[in-house]
Amino acid sequence: MLNPGRTRAVPLMLALAGAVVAGKSNAAPLTMSVSSAAQLAAPTTADAATLLVLLKNADGTPKVDAVVKFDKGSPVAWTLKTVAVPKNFGQACTLQANQAPVPDPARLIMRSISPRNSVVNETVEGLYAVDVVPYVRCGQGSLFRWVQGEYHFVLTYSNGDDKASALGVLVIR
């Protein structure tokens, strides 16, 4: 099992994470499994946590050519929807007087995506590392600090007919 306080990863977690498949009926769907590792992210820090994503084609072969580029600070083929954050995450963000509350102010954002061909000295094709950081939209928005708890999310990859999504949980301790 991944220990959020360490940078060690275990491939078994990828298999345990579960997969959700999405796609057009005329396209061969991808499968996605996601696991998370806090890495250096800890309460009161703004360090990135890592989502380990395993993409496979419909025939079970690794998806080794997923698009990982960013355009104007946003990933081209990936989306991250934050479903739930710890209760006290974002509470330190105060708005100016006479300013309307911001809907969905606290969430995770992707900082980088890169192919990752090994985990703990084991070759794993089709594996991608997605670094995420805490973000609170308050005024212009800013990076924020982690608070202890669970961050639930849906990660989606979509490029042409290649589509897959997975639900995941990142634990910060």
Three-class secondary structure of residue 47 per DSSP: coil
C-alpha 3/C-alpha 18 separation (Å) is: 19
Q: Is 53 in contact with 128 (CB distance < 8 Å)?
A: yes
C-alpha 164/C-alpha 22 separation (Å) is: 5
What would the pLDDT profile of 85-142 be if each residue is shown by its tens digit? 998 887 656 555 566 655 556 789 999 999 998 777 788 999 999 999 998 766 555 6
Q: What is the pLDDT of residue 135?
A: 86
What would the pLDDT profile of 38-70 be if each residue is shown by its tens digit? 999 999 998 999 999 999 999 999 999 999 999
Tokens matching residue 148: 């202890």
Q: What is the mean pLDDT of residues 142-167?
A: 92
Q: What is the pLDDT of residue 131?
A: 96
